[in-house]
Chain A
């Protein structure tokens, strides 16, 4: 019976090194260890091209090879007859393999040696089970069942903040994931910021990652899921990465200091990238191929839900007016830096960018008119917010601002009073200063 390549995906995670047998045009065989044999699709694998080796010289001249892979758990061997097709040096496949190689390299202590030059794509022509008498490795937990449990737990909701938190908490129920975050693409499309997190001492809400940096940034830029099965010392793939401009104030990204498994999947609605769902574990090989499939579907589901909530109309009825309250105590010193819209409260960094600009506008409006009730619609039209089209992003920025205030400056709070409506609650007098 023909063995489908899909059934060998667990052999193609780099857990046990594979070997590649090639031959020169004059018939001299060569066998080399392959640090990475990557599942591309049902008919193709890709091997990492790291050095100009005899293997490479051989396949360029005589494109036929045999690859021997090993199933973790059972140690069953499989041999793949393959034909070299092409080398990719950029794009999603290359980026995925580069990220995964960083994990394999660190796990095998070869961090300084393994650098991906290209992804050599091979067509798989035949698969031989070398050990048909041996039982297969015990199956991993059913990822489809995990996805169903996650979706059952997620349920439905019309509130983006609730959705963000629930989307992460549901992962624990479905997949046993205990550390995760949801990062949203910002309005420039060049960076992502953490909107919600699960299982970290500090929430890290508002932390930024540049597009293309770290696992989150690579998953966003390439719009592909990226999974690393081993701890990596390669800083490029540590999720805790520098922000685009190191001189600007930053919020630390919530990540484990010693993650052994990481996965990032794009959150998309159709063709539109909205963000990245990232999860990690202290255990090696925590996420399998099937988990990657399931979480990729989950990312699409979340994307559709986020878009649906964003499209809901704001509530028309205004919140009941409140009597003016008199904030008491020492004034809060709020400083605003217009060049990056950053806001500092009592010299402590609070927020920047769109959320900073919104806060500054609200506080000034409040001081000028005493208003505390606002709606999203007016913010979208407010000329004091010199920002690009906010229509898709405003709600997530307000959630971000609300959470940063709750964590860093509880004397100022944003209270949701309806869909598209919120109230500013201030306990202390304000001393606003624009730098």
Chain B
């Protein structure tokens, strides 16, 4: 079963976001890595999240070994945050469209942070930190979506398969 994402959630996931993917390694340790792009499929149920292969080795190994996946995406300007979880994720070939989506996402994130006073050179630094020539794509179908916006309501289930 899968969750049908709302148009608002889809719009949010394609905005200027800070995003991170979490998994659990074979040794039982949780691990996390910054993601650098999300593509929502036309079916509104399938996501492809893009990560650096080198920076995300532990997370990718954990997912290859069958770990569940969690994706947290937060908008710096509003702190609005979603967490999406699924029992598994699979690697997919990275396309030119994926690279373009990642570049857009990183640029948007940098611009958002610059507007918040983190410095104008941050966008350049982020582009160097999160290049698009080293991407791995992970496809998964969220089974539960949480509101993770900071506050006492954080953790509220927005949709469950």
Interface residues of A (CB under 8 A from B): 16-17, 19-23, 27-33, 35, 50-51, 53-54, 62, 64-66, 68, 74-77, 79, 81, 108-110, 113-114, 130-131, 134, 284
Residue of B55, B74, B79 contacting most chain A CB atoms (<10 Å) = B79
Assembly CA distance A68 to B33 (angstroms): 8
Q: How far is the CB of B88 from chain A (nearest CB, A)?
A: 12
Q: Which one of B41-49, B64-72, B91-99 is at the interface? A: B64-72
Q: How far is the CB of A71 from chain B (nearest CB, A)?
A: 11
Q: How far is the CB of B54 from chain A (nearest CB, A)?
A: 9
Task: Assess the A29–B34 pair: CB atoms within 8 A.
Answer: no
B106-161 residues with Cβ-Cβ distance < 8 A to A are: 117-118, 122, 125-126, 128-129, 148, 150-152, 154-155
Task: Assess the A33–B125 pair: CB atoms within 8 A.
Answer: no
Task: Assess the A75–B126 pair: CB atoms within 8 A.
Answer: yes
Which residue of chain A is the closest to B76 with respect to CB atoms? A17
Q: A21-B22, A114-B150 are in contact. Are A33 and B72 (CB under 8 A)?
A: yes
Q: A64-B29, A77-B34 are in contact. Are A31 and B129 (CB under 8 A)?
A: no
Q: How far is the CB of B158 from chain A (nearest CB, A)?
A: 14
Task: Assess the B126–A29 pair: CB atoms within 8 A.
Answer: no
Task: Assess the A66–B151 pair: CB atoms within 8 A.
Answer: no
Contacts of B23 in A (CB 8 A): 29
Provide 6 A-B residue pairs closer than 8 Å at the C-beta atoms, listed in order of the A residue. A21-B22, A64-B29, A64-B30, A75-B126, A77-B34, A79-B32
Task: Assess the B30–A22 pair: CB atoms within 8 A.
Answer: yes
8 Å CB contact of A66 from B32, B72, B81: B32
Contacts of B69 in A (CB 8 A): 29
Assembly CA distance A19 to B152 (angstroms): 18
Q: How far is the CB of B99 from chain A (nearest CB, A)?
A: 20
Q: Any chain A CB within 8 A of the CB of B14? A: no
8 Å CB contact of B31 from A28, A66, A74: A66
Interface residues of B (CB under 8 A from A): 18, 20-24, 28-34, 55, 67-72, 74, 79, 81, 83, 85, 117-118, 122, 125-126, 128-129, 148, 150-152, 154-155
Residue of A31, A50, A109 contacting most chain B CB atoms (<10 Å) = A31
Residue of A28, A29, A75, A130 contacting most chain B CB atoms (<10 Å) = A29
Contacts of A113 in B (CB 8 A): 150-151
Q: How far is the CB of B73 from chain A (nearest CB, A)?
A: 10
Task: Assess the A77–B125 pair: CB atoms within 8 A.
Answer: no
The 8 closest A-B pairs by CB, nearest first: A21-B32, A31-B22, A29-B22, A21-B30, A21-B22, A31-B72, A23-B30, A23-B24
